Structure 1
Amino acid sequence: MSDGVETEIRAEEWSGEMGRNWLANLQRFESMIAPLGAAFITQAEFRPGERVIDVGCGGGGTSIAIGRAVSPGGHVTGLDISQDLIWACGARASQGTQSDVRFVCADAATVTVTGGPFDRLFSRFGSMFFADAKAGFRNLRRMVRDGGRIDLAVWAGPQDNPWMQVMMGALQPYVAPPETPADPRAPGPFVFADTDYLKEVLHDAGFRDVHVDACMRDMPIGGAGAGPEEAADFVLSAMHLGGQIPEDQRAAAHEALTAAFAPHHVAGKGVLLPGQALFVRATAAAS
């Protein structure tokens, strides 16, 4: 990623502080990406009776929604590396009486999940963090039956995401540039914005008939209804980008973010900025 903002994130980071941080801000994170997430669930076209594994299930909202879509007769396994999130997922599912959903805490890059191979593999922003993407996706391929379908939502590049551009522009003066140039194929949220690399990884793993569709939706930064100051609080306290700001510059960074968000605030809806994801679908080729 350009502009001196470091975005390399590895899967194991989600098993610790990042997972706990997501859980602490679960409602705001899920509300923020809900417009893209709803469009992604719709495009996946789940059917009753399908057996699905949801990779990087986070707080479990996607797994529960898929569980409703594949009922009756279907089943969903939500998989995440964060034990904190998996505990929360189980409680959330039980409150919603989702008996056709279960959750597993494990590393998707190496785990063999009981109940596989599955008819479908789904991942909303959870497939971009493997230290070795090709090895990780080869393991994902083993989770899917021959002829099964994989659906991935990944972020388009920062230059195609106005919400990132606004934040990066405001925070640029407060973020130290990385000591070495960023590896464009390092794990992180934008690694698969390079669709040639994405297709290379999928083909290497044994997936074919790859289709990529861009989807743009307005996202409420910091969650629906948040004002500019609340959205700035969220970025600095909850997002990886905000964590790069030195403590003695956070007040100035907060002021800059608030000013940048103010023109995009819509009363009753929040700070609305466009976000673009790539919706990827492919078929598991016969072994």
Structure 2
Amino acid sequence: MEIRQRRHDDLRNESDEEDEVISTKPQEIDEQERFTWIWLPCIFLGLAVFVYASMHLINGHDTTARVLHAVSRGPRVPGGHPEYRLTKGELAIFDGVEEERIFIAVLGQVFDVTEGKRHYGKGGAYSFFAATDRSRAFSSGSKSDGEDVSSFTDKQLLDVHKWLVFFDTHKAYKRMGTVEGVYYDKFGHVTPTMHTIRERIRLAKQAEEAVAAIESCNSEWKAGQGSVVWCQDPEKYPRKHADERCGCFSASDIAMRTDLQLVKDCKEKDKRCVSPA
């Protein structure tokens, strides 16, 4: 190629300086080839080594790897942070010792309670709740109780649910996601057990609200005279109902319900019940 180009230049009577420029092109191509075949592979190899070393460093630190793994599985919650999808082992990290933050779980829902470290941190009165799901303990008070509340009465379920609402609405605590177990799977989907618990809580709340709507009896006690129970509404009768409470019911209510009992020292048609001292 160079000889042909030179002959062509001789016919055109080009200068030697231009010949030199033309003759250097193969050298430039050699430099490009050298970069392509020698330096570029070296650069890619260096990047690969760097990435491998970085991953090895992260995986070598169990806590870091598990936290990153947990965060990566969930969507973002309204607060903006990624929603965690934790295994029980991953939840166990967040005890305020191995990991600075403190997480607790109630009915499978995970909350960051780091702001309450003096309560839930090491040495705190409620430290046994940290880094695990002890839903049963929110009603039983037993430090060793676990997560499954399936055997609880409706009243006990409402006790646990009130704690769930407490953590969910507390200004200092944040909902972080879910933990895999009785109530949620590894993707954060509710389990059949959780569906059942939710329905039981819904019905129990309806029953509680119905009880709260019942007019309470008036009562008075005087030394030497005893106690008197009566209803503000003159058309209603005192009766014992849920948890031995005294409520006021109409005649039609009494006829339709089988769970109502007479108040002590009270007859069927009495609207004022007197118990002597």
Q: TM class by shorter-chain length?
A: under 0.3
In the superposition, the TM-score normalised over structure 1's length comes to 0.22
- Bigger relative contact order (CA 8 A; separation at least 6): 1
